[in-house]
Chains A and B, each alone.
Chain A
Amino acid sequence: MTKEFKRPDGRGIKEMRPVEAKVNVVPNADGSAMFKSGKTIAIAAVYGPKKMHPQHKQNPATGQLRCEYNMLSFSVDDRIRPGRNRRAMEISEITKWALEPAVLLDKYPAQVVDVHINIIQADAGTRCAGINAAAMALAHAGIPMKDMVSSVSIGKLDKTLVVDLTKEEEDFEEGEGPTDIPISMTSSGKVTHMQLDGKIGVKQLQESIDMAKESCAEIYEIQKKALKDAVGMEKEK
């Protein structure tokens, strides 16, 4: 019965939006990448490892990861005033938590790796696109990492679990309404980030983890290809 569920853009329940990923989009950065999911576009740039400033924030035992998520003013219908906002600050911290378990910074005491994520166009799933772009940018920057991190948003529309919500689906109003579950995982299946907004039973929530693993595996292949293709591009010049 769930297979009959009709999504506004006609996708299957396990179908992600078309994805585009590219590395080396900011020449000045030590590593950079772009991740596009449907109409959501994120670019990420990594600078570091470098000395952490201010000095009192330095950790003598290990290097640190610092993330900043920012939406461009014209990425949404109602202009966002440029400057700090609390939602962005929270997502910045969430992004750091999603990536930290995968990066190995113990050989960089008192140093920091800065990750800057900017959303150019938003159609839901911006934090996931940001995390996907950031993971590629970190690898591209030569940062030692145990594994890649991939991120996807699982949703529940009324009673049906679906993969990769659009903004239209986030505003779904029938039945039990929408539930939004962004999840990030390493390629070996470790969950590094999860949030939930809505209403869902335990069994379905467990199912959503399984669905996320499948989608993250697809995203991982796309991230891998983008990184490997970057070398090929240099060859062709």
Chain B
Amino acid sequence: MDKIRTTPGITGDRIKKYLKEGKRFDGRGLEEFRELTIEKEVSCKAEGSVRVKLGKTEVIVGVKMALGEPYADSPASGNLMVTAEMLPLSSPRFESGPPKIGAIEWARVTDRGIRESGFVDFDKLCIKEGEKVWTVFVDIYSINDDGNLMDAATIGAIAAMKIAKVPKYDLENNKVLYDEPTEEGLPLTNHVPVAISVHKLGKSLIVDPTREEEDISETRVTIGSSKGTISSLQKSNSKALEMDEIKKIFEIATKISEEIDAKINKALK
């Protein structure tokens, strides 16, 4: 039933023609993001939580922390687990049940983008080597899909992690006191891996597509970077890219990553 809401070919032709003139239907430039709003503390039960809106796309992200044993191969490091769920509530295209491949890729790309970037100082999450470390859970949920859930997810994860407060740990009774947050935030570094996805539509490269634009995206490259250093990259979908196109994509993604990083900080003040 939802085939009719997928962007028709003839509308897609219009979109691509307009892009060649450097214009988009909602008046944005090709390298312009929609309005970004971040609402803090959406759930008082989370150690940190945000609601991110990118135009009409909305995600909610929460950080929870738990104590446990470290992994055998990293006895002095804490752990990070990032999950992302495309809730059926957020689109007629998402169904209940086990996640489809699109959702799985979304979650894994987001997880790797944050975990491998050096954003979290895992050693500082260790309480007692070999015995007790913090695991940080970052759970991302889509609330409304109007395109670019990929970038919205990472923006949300970064924002939630930045405002999260470590709960008090009662050493004597070995209990985490969730309703007594300390002033201490997560041990984060300066490498903030803001992920920017660049899409190829016809001969044009754009960022932050609406659902209507994303439906006709031929290929996507998602790049996590901070201050010009790239720490993660994934090219998705099957259309091939020319060498000069992919090189241009590296430039676009890293440039816009700085802009969005600034917007996140401004929103969190």
So, do A and B actually touch in the complex, CB under 8 Å? Answer: yes
Interface residues in chain A, defined as those with a beta carbon under 8 Å from any beta carbon in chain B? 26-29, 32, 39, 41, 43-45, 47, 50-51, 68, 70, 72-79, 82, 114, 116, 118, 120-122
Give the residue of A26, A27, A68, A121 whose beta carbon is less than 8 angstroms from that of B45: A121
The CA of A73 and the CA of B84, in the complex, are separated in Å by 11
The CA of A29 and the CA of B42, in the complex, are separated in Å by 21
Residues of A within 8 A of B43 (CB): 41, 72, 74-75, 120-121
| B residues 133-151 in Cβ contact with A at 8 Å | 137, 139, 141, 143-146
B59 CB → nearest A CB, Å: 11
Q: A43-B143, A121-B42 are in contact. List 6 more A-B contacts (CB 8 A).
A: A44-B89, A47-B92, A72-B60, A73-B137, A82-B139, A116-B87
Residues of B within 8 A of A72 (CB): 43, 60, 62, 139, 141
Give the residue of A50, A77, A118 whose beta carbon is less than 8 angstroms from that of B1: A50
The CA of A89 and the CA of B63, in the complex, are separated in Å by 25
Cβ-defined contact, B139 with A27, below 8 A: no
Interface size class of B (residues with CB under 8 A): 20 to 34
A28-B146, A118-B141, A122-B45 known; A77 vs B89 contact (CB < 8 Å): no
Give the residue of A43, A51, A75 whose beta carbon is less than 8 angstroms from that of B89: A43
A47-B92, A73-B137, A121-B43 known; A82 vs B144 contact (CB < 8 Å): no
A74-B45, A121-B45 known; A28 vs B144 contact (CB < 8 Å): yes
Interface residues in chain B, defined as those with a beta carbon under 8 Å from any beta carbon in chain A? 1, 42-47, 49, 56, 60, 62-64, 66, 83, 85, 87-92, 96, 137, 139, 141, 143-146, 178-179
Residues of B within 8 A of A32 (CB): 89
What are 11 A-B residue pairs whose CB atoms fall within 8 Å in the complex?
A27-B56, A28-B90, A28-B92, A70-B87, A73-B139, A74-B139, A77-B179, A78-B66, A82-B85, A121-B42, A121-B45
The CA of A51 and the CA of B92, in the complex, are separated in Å by 12
Give the residue of B64, B66, B90, B96 whose beta carbon is less than 8 angstroms from that of A26: B90
What residue of chain B has the Cβ atom nearest to residue A121's Cβ? B43
Count chain B CB atoms within 10 A of each CB in A28, A45, A75, A79 and give the residue with the most.
A28
The CA of A221 and the CA of B247, in the complex, are separated in Å by 59
Residues of B within 8 A of A120 (CB): 42-43, 60
Residues of B within 8 A of A41 (CB): 43
Residues of B within 8 A of A76 (CB): 45
Residues of B within 8 A of A114 (CB): 88, 96
Cβ-defined contact, A82 with B83, below 8 A: yes
Residues of B within 8 A of A43 (CB): 89, 143
Count chain B CB atoms within 10 A of each CB in A41, A47, A76 and give the residue with the most.
A47
Residues of B within 8 A of A68 (CB): 88, 96
B128 CB → nearest A CB, Å: 21
What residue of chain B has the Cβ atom nearest to residue A41's Cβ? B43
Residues of B within 8 A of A26 (CB): 89-90, 143-144
What residue of chain A has the Cβ atom nearest to residue B83's Cβ? A82
Cβ-defined contact, B88 with A74, below 8 A: no
Cβ-defined contact, B64 with A74, below 8 A: yes
What residue of chain B has the Cβ atom nearest to residue A115's Cβ? B89
